[in-house]
Chains A and B, each alone.
Chain A
Amino acid sequence: MADQTSEAKKYLVFKLEEDEFGIEIGKISTIIEKDMEITRVPKQPAFLKGVINLRGEIIPVISLRLKFGLSDDVYNEDTRIIILKLDDLSIGLIVDSVAEVVELDDETTESVSNIAGEKSLEYLTGVGKADGRIITLLDLEKIVMLEESAT
């Protein structure tokens, strides 16, 4: 049972500008198109874009671009909101586009300590390689956690 496949994890790959990032599939509840209004919530940091109505539930939405210090989102037909489910917290991440699902295992991932000099290092857990591409793996809890201490 303890073969390679059991250690392989599936990641959803999405893009911000030209960079590719990966999120563990298990933490995603759904992916939606950005076709509804995001209601701004006053007195919140800029990366917290506001809230949306997802099938009757109010869900906060974060701009990863602003979070990572990139320019503000320009919404187009590729824009997606990835809805995460972390424990009992639902939260949306706005990304430029969603690419595909890749499988990564221990052989094709490197832990973050081996990479130096990345500027948004604090949100990374590691880097994966698939078909010669480099996929940055995100520490979602950290992205979400930081808000709480920031506000």
Chain B
Amino acid sequence: MDMSQYLEIFIEESKEHLQSLNQSLLQLEKNPGDRAVLNEIFRVAHTIKGMAGTMGFNKMSKLTHDMENVLHALRNNEIEISSDLVDILFKCLDVLENYTANIVETGTEGDQDSKGLSDVLSDLLKNRKPVSEKAPEQAKADASPVSKGAPGIAADLQLDQYETNIINKAADLGNSAYQITVKLNKGCLLKSARAFIIFKTLERHSEIIKSVPNVQDIEDEKFDFEFTVIVLTKAEEATIKKDLISIAEVDEVIIKLIKEKNESASATAADDQLLQEQINVPADIKQSLISSQDKTEAIARKTKTGKTVRVDIDRLDVLLNLVSELIIQKTRLEGLEGIERTQQYVEAIEYLERITTNLHDAVMKVRMVPVETVFNRFPRMIRDVSRELGKEVELEMSGIDTELDRTVIDEIGDPLIHLLRNSCDHGIEPREQRKRLGKPESGKIELKAYQDGNNVVIEVGDDGQGINVEKVRQKIIERGLVSREIAANLSKKDVIDFLFKPSFSTADKITDLSGRGVGLDVVKTKIEALGGTVEVETELGKGSRFFIRLPLTLAIIQALLVLIGEEKYAIQLSSVHKIINITPEDIKMVQKQEVVMYRDTVIPVVRLKDALEVPGESDEEQKIMTLVIVKKGERLTGFMVDRIIGQQEIVQKSLGKYLSGTKVITSATILGDGNVALILDVNSLAY
């Protein structure tokens, strides 16, 4: 059978499962006694095994099988959880991730051999403790949790006291209780959907008080091809049977009348631990006892999540491009000359404007992805790094639901890894030192994301030693980056800025300093390429905090259009501070640099005509000159332009690979008249 069409689904789902395995393993390490987590890990391993087996990925399937054996022994308390064991499981996870990555690349699992790991896993099993008498039976059931819900076709379900009571009460009201076992066709594809229809059908004339496996498992398709429910109904057995058997893909319906006075059942149930586990009524079933309505809702919720569609990001890009085209045309319509602007025309344009804006918002929303997709790999990373360094580090994450544009999400991972590693490596002090300083032995790294206006801020903070500004200042002088006198007068912020300079970070051995600086320029470059900024706050001995500020959307921005010579340029509005008019007399020279006074501060002036080498006569001094004051971080710079054209919503377009090295330009946009205007790179032009 050709599996290629399922390959993509397999890859996507494997990734999700591996991610959840990762999270569960981390949890397990924290709470070794947590049965629920262990069960979850088991379930995921089992699912992966099944999926990989179906797709013919035998190595994955074999490895997960071996994992399962160990997990199974763990569940039965035959072996104990140790951090070594968790390490091995993590290694298994790595290998599985590797296989998946290989499958993505080449369609095969690759050559990596997991024999070694499998051996380690089976060695673990050799050390298992003598098992209790009951274990084998339990083991048998546990080994196949997917089918554990079905205790034989017509076997009687055990009922607890509560359920028996309900049945008895129902009998008083003239309702009979039936145990219905439904067997689905083996070829049934959407088992849960089928089950949903069956539940719905039953609910027409009866109330479901119990189901095995439970509703949640049925929704999640965690059952073989049969399940059993207990219903209370006034309807005839035959009617129910007829209704159910008429549903497609139902192979067999077995209905048994439950006699009331089933009290003895509760006693047996309590004895039988295995069944107790099944009957251990989960919350959703309890709800359904109270009202079957709720349960229907639970299933409905499931169907709702089933309505999502996986869409290739390329298709979204196409969609966004089309929306961009539409906006350009709208702007063009607005600016058309020689048209009589009747009321109708204006209304139509306004309506169009509203629609395009909404459309744009909608498309952007579709492209938004929670930062969680990036964050979720960090706990594991911090764990590994801190172990490597022999430090104890706790990672606290918040705001993982904060959403960012897909393109930003794809790029933000590396800089964050960089900062987090930095915090672990250089921020957090070794354990003994922390102890000496009276700090908690375990260091804390905080990763926080939140929305702030049109920006998303991601903070990476630690409670480590902070940046030693004086040491950095020393280093600046040693490296001869600036003279001793200037260095001595640099503010704290200025000094820290040096850490982000490439010249600083390529330094041979910087770790003996406070350590900050290694690759920080890479972080900064990357963030700025995304249209964002990085700032850092630090206090010696208390810790450091990096603030990454990113624009919510990249594609469509508000911009200020300016005219320089004959050329039109766009400046991102978010970096424009103010526009002022000055006279030639306002410009003063300080150290060969033109400056103006603005609100009692001196700000440098950049003549864009010169900076951009715009052809044409060089400025004949006008009486009044226009200065666009832009901010780069906290600093202001005045850009001298010839004329302001106005504010406009523009669509950013990449200049492409060929011009990607262009310094003073970030990207381009298409104006209403179809011509191209370039968007200035404020960060590289401003001081």
Name A's B-contacting residues (CB within 8 A).
36-37, 39-44, 50-53, 56-60, 88-91, 144, 147-148, 151
Is B280 an interface residue, CB under 8 A from the partner? no
Query: Is the CB–CB distance between B656 and A43 below 8 Å?
Result: no
Q: Does B655 contact A (CB under 8 A)?
A: yes
List, in ascending order, chain A residues with CB within 8 A of B611's CB: 42
User: B668: which of A39, A90, A91 is its contact (CB, 8 Å)?
Assistant: A39
Interface range, B side: 20 to 34
Within B611-628, which residues are at the interface with A (CB < 8 Å)? 611-615
Assembled-state Cα–Cα distance A108/B8 (Å): 49
Cα A151 to Cα B611 in complex, Å, equals 18
Cβ-defined contact, B676 with A58, below 8 A: yes
Query: What residues of chain B lie closer than 8 Å to A151, measured between beta carbons?
Result: 661
Nearest-CB distance from B330 to chain A (Å)? 14
**Out of A36, A40, A58, A60, which one reaches B653, CB within 8 Å?**
A58
Question: B657: CB under 8 A from chain A?
Answer: yes
CA of A52 to CA of B614 in the docked complex: distance in angstroms?
18
CB distance from A93 to the nearest CB of B (A): 13
Contact B662 A44 (CB under 8 A): yes
B678 contacts the other chain (CB 8 A): yes
Nearest opposing residue in chain B for A56, CB measure: B325
Q: Which residues of A contact B657 (CB under 8 A)?
A: 88-89
With both beta carbons as reference points, the residue of chain A lying nearest to B674 in the complex is identified as A53
A58 to B670, CA, bound (A): 8
> Can you list 11 residue pairs at the A/B interface with Cβ under 8 Å?
A39-B678, A43-B612, A43-B662, A43-B663, A51-B678, A53-B675, A56-B321, A56-B325, A56-B328, A58-B670, A60-B655
In whole angstroms, what is the CA distance A23 to B63 when docked? 55
A39 with B675: CB separation less than 8 A: yes
Tell me which residues across on chain B come within 8 A of A40, comparing CB atoms: 567, 615
Do residues A51 and B674 form an inter-chain contact, with CB atoms below 8 A? no
> Per-residue 0/1 for B358-397: is the Cβ within 8 Å of any A Cβ (1 yes, 0 no)?
0000000000000000000000000000000000000000
B268 CB–A CB distance under 8 Å = no
Q: Which residues of A contact B661 (CB under 8 A)?
A: 151
In contact, A56 and B658 (Cβ under 8 angstroms): no
A42 to B612, CA, bound (A): 5
- Residues from chain A with Cβ under 8 Å of B138 in the complex: none
Structural contact, A89 and B658, CB atoms closer than 8 A: yes
A56 close to B655 (CB less than 8 A) = no
Contacts of A50 in B (CB 8 A): 676
Q: In the bound complex, how far is the Cα of B678 from the Cα of A42, in angstroms?
A: 9
Chain B, Cβ-Cβ closest to A60? B658
Judge if B491 is at the interface, Cβ distance under 8 Å: no
Bound complex: CA of A43 vs CA of B678, how far in Å? 13
Q: Contact at B613–A43, with CB atoms within 8 Å? A: yes
Query: How many contacting A-B pairs (Cβ < 8 A)?
Result: 72
Which residue from chain B places its CB closest to the CB of A39 in the assembled complex? B676
Q: Scan residues 297-332 of chain B and give those whose CB is less than 8 A from a CB of chain A.
A: 321, 324-325, 328
CA distance A53 to B663 in the complex (A): 21
Interface centre among A36, A37, A89, A90, by most B CB within 10 Å?
A37
Which residues does chain A contribute within 8 Å of B678, judged by CB atoms? Answer: 39, 41-42, 51
Which chain A positions have C-beta within 8 A of B567?
Answer: 39-40
Docked-complex contact A41 and B656, CB < 8 angstroms: no
A53 to B: closest C-beta gap in Å: 5
Closest to B566 in A: A40
Tell whether B454 is near chain A: CB-to-CB under 8 Å: no
Contact A52 to B676, CB < 8 A, known contacts A39-B668, A43-B663, A58-B653: yes
Which 10 A-B pairs give the minimum distances between C-beta atoms?
Answer: A39-B676, A42-B612, A60-B658, A58-B668, A37-B675, A53-B670, A58-B653, A53-B676, A51-B676, A56-B325
Cβ of B552 to closest chain A Cβ, rounded Å: 23
Question: How far apart are A66's CB and chain B's nearest CB, in angstroms?
Answer: 15
Q: Are B670 and A51 in contact (CB under 8 A)?
A: no
B654 at the interface (CB under 8 A from A): yes
Q: Are B675 and A36 touching (Cβ within 8 A)? A: yes
B608, closest chain A residue (CB): A42
Q: Is the CB of A89 within 8 A of B328?
A: no
- Give the residues in chain B near A89, CB-CB below 8 Å: 656-658
Query: Which single member of B325, B662, B664, B677 contacts A39 (CB below 8 Å)?
Result: B677
B665 CB-CB contact with A under 8 Å: yes
Give, as a whole number of angstroms, the nearest-CB distance from A54 to chain B. Answer: 10
CB distance from A105 to the nearest CB of B (A): 32
CA distance A56 to B677 in the complex (A): 13
What residue of chain B has the Cβ atom nearest to residue A44's Cβ? Answer: B662
Given known A39-B676, A51-B676, A88-B657, contact A56–B670 (CB-CB < 8 A): yes
Q: From residue 625 to 683 of chain B, which have CB atoms closer than 8 A to chain A?
A: 653-659, 661-665, 668, 670, 674-678
Rounded to whole angstroms, the CA-CA distance of A89 and B657 in the bound complex is: 7
CB-CB < 8 A to A44: which residues of B?
Answer: 659, 662
- A127 to B686 Cα, complex, angstroms: 50
Residue in chain B with minimal CB distance to A55: B325
Q: How far is the CA of A66 from the CA of B656 in the complex (A)?
A: 22
Among B612, B658, B670: residue with most chain A CB under 10 A: B658
Distance (Å) between the CB of B420 and the closest chain A CB?
Answer: 33
Q: What is the minimal beta-carbon distance from A37 to any residue of chain B, in angstroms?
A: 5
Nearest CB in chain A: distance from B612 CB, A? 4
Complex CA gap A91/B614 in Å reads: 23
The CA-CA distance from A44 to B613 in the complex, in Å, is 10
CA distance A60 to B661 in the complex (A): 13
CB distance from B46 to the nearest CB of A (A): 42
Closest to B659 in A: A60
* Chain B residues near A56 (CB-CB < 8 A): 321, 324-325, 328, 653, 670
User: Which chain B residue shows the least CB distance to A91?
Assistant: B658
Residue pair B658, A147 in contact (C-beta under 8 Å): yes
A56 and B612 CA atoms in complex are apart in Å by 25
**Distance in Å: Cβ of B666 to nearest Cβ of chain A:** 12
Give B328's nearest chain A residue, CB to CB.
A56
Interface centre among A56, A89, A90 (most CB of B within 10 A): A56
A148–B658 Cα gap in the complex (Å)?
7
Which residues on the B side are within 8 Å of A52 (C-beta)? Answer: 676
Contacts of A43 in B (CB 8 A): 612-613, 662-664
Distance in angstroms between the alpha carbons of A57 and B676 in the assembled complex: 10
Q: Report the separation of the CA atoms of residues A60 and B325 in the bound assembly, to the nearest whole angstrom.
A: 19
A88 CB to closest chain B CB (Å) equals 7
The residues of B that contact A57 with a CB separation of less than 8 Å are 653
Docked Cα-Cα span, A88 to B615, in Å, equals: 32
**B325 A41 Cβ-Cβ under 8 A:** no
Q: Find out whether the CB atom of A42 lies under 8 angstroms from the CB atom of B676.
A: no
In the assembled complex, the CB of A81 is this many whole angstroms from the nearest CB of chain B, namely 14
Across the interface, name the chain B residue whose C-beta is closest to A50: B676
Does the CB pair B321–A41 fall under 8 Å? no
A144 vs B384: C-alpha distance when bound (angstroms) = 45
Q: In the complex the two chains form, is B668's CB within 8 Å of A51's CB? A: yes
Given the interface pairs A36-B674, A37-B675, A41-B659, the reply to whether A58 lies near B664 with Cβ below 8 Å is no
The distance from the CB of B135 to the nearest CB of chain A, in whole angstroms, is: 60
- Return A5 CB to nearest CB of chain B, in Å: 35
CA–CA, A36 to B675, complex, Å?
7
CB distance from B328 to the nearest CB of A (A): 7
Q: B667's closest neighbor in chain A, by CB?
A: A58
A46 to B664, CA, bound (A): 17
How many angstroms from the CA of A151 to the CA of B662 in the assembled complex? Answer: 9
Q: What is the CA–CA distance of A56 and B322 in the complex, to the nearest angstrom?
A: 9
Residues B665 and A59 in contact, CB atoms below 8 Å apart: no
CB distance from B351 to the nearest CB of A (A): 24
In the complex, what distance in Å separates the CA atom of A36 from the CA atom of B664? 24
Nearest chain A CB to B642 CB, angstrom units? 15
| Residue in chain B with minimal CB distance to A42 | B612
Which single residue of chain A is at the shortest CB-CB distance from B567?
Answer: A40
Contact status of A60 and B656, CB under 8 A, knowing A43-B662, A53-B670? yes
